[in-house]
Structure formats: structure tokens, C-alpha cells
């Protein structure tokens, strides 16, 4: 699959009501696929909160949201955004992937997006 085309769903859609406790979804592709689309449908502005997530081929992955002075391995999905992530094709063909998600209660501190791949 070329990496210069729009997102093409190759399996089921999963919905998670993300809370402050980490939760994990196991995803299996129905056909060859190297894309994962992550959407945050929370309202933009003061009503929405970012969702931190981690993608892994390990079953017991747990996402930890970064805190002031305590970074973590996590990507962030800002309210009102959609991200399409690309993987090597065999990553989704040969194994399931785990998507671990967590939300934090925000203070006035900003949470910049760092470490994105």
C-alpha cells in the first residue's frame, strides 16, 4: 500500500470512552493494512481534553500520560483532531496491535506534543 494515499479502513472501527484510567484495545486487521486512524471527538476549547495513546505489538501495554517533570512514551490526540499513523505492512498483518489510551485532568499547564513519529 502506498503511503501517499488517503486513509483506507481495513477493519472494524473501535470506540473508547477514555477515562483517567488506562485502557487497552486489541486491533486485528481484516486485510493487509499499514494505517491506523485515531480521532478525538471531544469539543475544542475549554470543554475538551487531550487523549494520550501508545501503540504496540505487545499485549500488555499501558499508556501513562506525561506529567510535569515526568515524561512518558505517548502520542497525544488533541480535541477535534484526526491522526493517521503509518506502520510497516507486516506489523498489522502478522500480529495484533494494542492501542492503550488514557486521559488526564488538565490544569493550566500546557501539554506540548513531543516525540511524535
- Rounded-to-integer distance, Cα 93 and Cα 87, Å: 11
pLDDT at 116 over 70: no
pLDDT at 112 over 50: no
Q: What is the mean pLDDT of residues 6-27?
A: 80
Kindly report the pTM of this predicted structure: 0.73
Question: Can you point out the beta strands (E) in 1-117?
Answer: 23-27, 35-40, 51-56, 75-77, 81-86, 97-103
- Return the higher-pLDDT residue of 48 and 10: 48
Question: pLDDT tens digits, residue range 66-82?
Answer: 888 888 888 888 889 88
Q: How many residues would you count in the chain? A: 117
Q: Number of helices (H) and strands (E) in the chain: give both, helices first.
A: 1, 6
C-alpha cell at 47: 470543554
Q: Among the listed ranges 6-20, 34-48, 84-98, which one has the minimum average pLDDT value?
A: 84-98
Examine the pLDDT at 2 and tell me if it is beyond 70.
no
The closest of 55, 54, 76, 71 to 63, measured between CA atoms, is 54
Q: What percent of the chain is modeled with pLDDT above 70? A: 74
Amino acid at each position: 500500500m502506498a503511503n501517499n494515499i488517503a486513509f483506507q479502513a481495513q477493519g472494524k472501527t473501535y470506540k473508547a470512552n477514555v477515562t483517567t484510567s488506562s485502557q487497552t484495545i486489541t486491533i486485528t486487521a481484516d486485510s493487509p493494512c499499514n494505517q491506523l486512524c485515531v480521532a478525538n471527538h471531544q469539543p475544542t476549547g475549554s470543554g475538551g481534553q487531550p487523549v494520550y495513546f501508545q501503540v504496540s505489538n505487545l499485549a500488555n501495554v499501558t499508556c501513562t500520560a506525561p506529567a510535569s517533570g515526568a515524561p512518558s512514551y505517548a502520542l497525544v490526540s488533541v480535541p477535534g483532531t484526526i491522526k493517521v499513523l503509518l506502520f510497516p505492512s507486516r506489523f498489522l498483518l502478522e500480529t495484533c496491535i494494542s492501542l492503550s489510551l488514557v486521559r488526564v485532568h488538565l490544569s493550566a499547564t500546557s501539554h506540548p506534543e513531543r516525540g511524535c513519529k
